[in-house]
Amino acid sequence: MIKFDFENSSINERMLSDYEEVVQKNHLLLHENPDDEKQFLGWINLPENYDKNEFERIKKAAKKIRSDSDVLIVIGIGGSYLGARAVIESLTDCFYNMLPDKKRNSPMIIYAGNNLSPNYLNDLMNLIGEKDISINVISKSGTTTEPAIAFRILKEAIEQKYGLEEARKRIYVTTDKARGALKTLANSEKYETFVIPDNIGGRFSVLTAVGLLPIATAGIDIDKLMQGANDAREKYLEPSIKFNDCYKYAIVRNLLHSSGKKIEILANYEPQLHYFTEWWKQLYGESEGKDGKGIFPAGVDFTTDLHSMGQYIQDGERHLFETVLCVNEPKNDIDVKADSENLDGLNYLAGKSLDYINKKAMEGTVQAHVTGNVPNMMITLDKLDEENLGQLIYFFEKACAMSGMILEVNPFNQPGVEEYKKNMFKLLEKPGY
Ligand code: PA5
């Protein structure tokens, strides 16, 4: 279960009620015709009406990859990359890829096509060496430069390693059902292909095959993930602000933004949530940052970043507010023991657990930030598991849609992303630029 609390945000329930009308109007827009292909609202009912046949194919493919591969290389960028990595890193061992094969019991998951660095790709090929590999290349448009280049290079490597026929059985393509260069390539090579529905944009696609194939390959229970998302879907169907926490979150952040708090920091106290924060940054940044508007989404991993960004947050320009992701129960806890000499002076912590200390650090930090005029919201998960993460994903997706609509931007397009591409293509002398 997830819990939302904004008592330290300087916003109260009465202030939220001013938004009742606009939220009702946007709620209707979101729910009027979510299956309309042109509206990019397919994610709204996805946890209930996802393609069950494709879901079974995903599980089957994941099972095969788990049985014949030491490494799955996931090629994709942005919305075709961050969701899978967010879920995998949140729900697996902190040192997943470094574990000995027997302990991990699942393939290593390595990401490619999310940058243009030759060092990265050379080191990746060096790392996989003699290992058995499969590739999942993911691109909705099928034309994005970074994953396309990585796939061209890694396709050649896998074909050399296994020969054409076996390589084809180890390449899985996730793309549009009909369009794009990747779809053409997949048809011609007869790769197993999964579909990204037309009405689900990249950053809202983690619960489609985009995220689910790598997630299932890492041994994560995708039935439970979808169940969690579906629980949230039902819960946040509620139109009234009073009973809908994800609409409350959307309004509070807009109220804070209007009061001059231009930057939202998502703070976690679990290193495993680092990539979840990266996913959230893309979701909100790409959905809201347009037409000269938008809350800038930033992320910090605490307590690590208290020793780097803590000074600014406490004492720098007062344009920040903070949303804390708190996980109630750790997977395992460790107690601090008493030491007869106490040379490190830590005996005052003897008998206390690391999670207890982490929580006290969190409480102390929240108090300090609130006192320092950094309004605070808290989102609390019982624990980090499939159901809770599924709920949290849906919570943020729906809140993001509502928040963008309150801000009066289209949360589902990303016109700004094209600008760098035009310049890059011109410089690279791509025909037509
Ligand atoms: O959210 C988005 O739409 C983008 O971040 C895309 O996911 C990203 O640009 C990758 O695009 P594609 O999946 O077409 O390769």
Instruction: Report how far residue 75's alpha carbon sits from residue 170's, in angstroms, rounded to the nearest whole number.
Output: 13
The β-bridge partners of 112 are 75
- In terms of phi and psi (left: phi > 0; alpha: psi -120 to 50; beta: otherwise), the region of 116 is alpha
In a mutational test of the pocket of ligand 1, which residue from 43, 137, 140 has the highest number of ligand atoms less than 8 Å from its CB? 140
Q: How far is the CA of 140 from the centre of ligand 1 (A)?
A: 7
The reported pLDDT for the residue numbered 227 is 98
pLDDT for residue 392 is more than 90: yes
Q: In percent, how much of the chain has pLDDT > 70?
A: 100
Question: Does any ligand 1 atom lie closer than 6 A to the CB of residue 414?
Answer: yes
141-186 per-position pLDDT tens digit: 999 999 999 999 999 999 999 999 999 999 999 999 999 999 999 9
Confidence tier at 121 by pLDDT (50, 70, 90): very high
219-254: burial string, b at 16+ Cβ within 10 Å, e else: bbebebbbbbbbbbbebbeebebeebbbbbbbbbbb
339-357 per-position pLDDT tens digit: 999 999 999 999 999 999 9
Asked if 54 is an active-site residue, the reply is no
Asked if 27 is an active-site residue, the reply is no
Confidence tier at 36 by pLDDT (50, 70, 90): confident
Q: How far is the CA of 143 from the centre of ligand 1 (A)?
A: 10
Which residue, among 198, 195, 246, 204, has the nearest Cα to 39 in the 3D structure? 198
Q: Which atom of ligand 1 is nearest to the CA of 146?
A: 15
368-389 per-position pLDDT tens digit: 999 999 999 999 999 999 999 9
The reported pLDDT for the residue numbered 83 is 98
Pick 268 or 425 by higher pLDDT.
268
Instruction: Report how far residue 234's alpha carbon sits from residue 246's, in angstroms, rounded to the nearest whole number.
Output: 12
- Written as six digits, the tokens of 254 are 């807009």
Q: How far is the CA of 27 from the centre of ligand 1 (A)?
A: 26
pLDDT for residue 37 is more than 80: no
Please tell me which residue in 38, 52, 102, 307 is annotated as part of the active site.
307
Confidence tier at 290 by pLDDT (50, 70, 90): very high
Q: Which atom of ligand 1 is nearest to the CA of 203?
A: 1
Sequence-separated (6 or more) residues with CB below 8 Å from residue 354? 330, 333, 334, 335, 336
The reported pLDDT for the residue numbered 419 is 84
Pick 37 or 188 by higher pLDDT.
188
The reported pLDDT for the residue numbered 416 is 83
Asked if 56 is an active-site residue, the reply is no
218-245 per-position pLDDT tens digit: 999 999 999 999 999 999 999 999 999 9
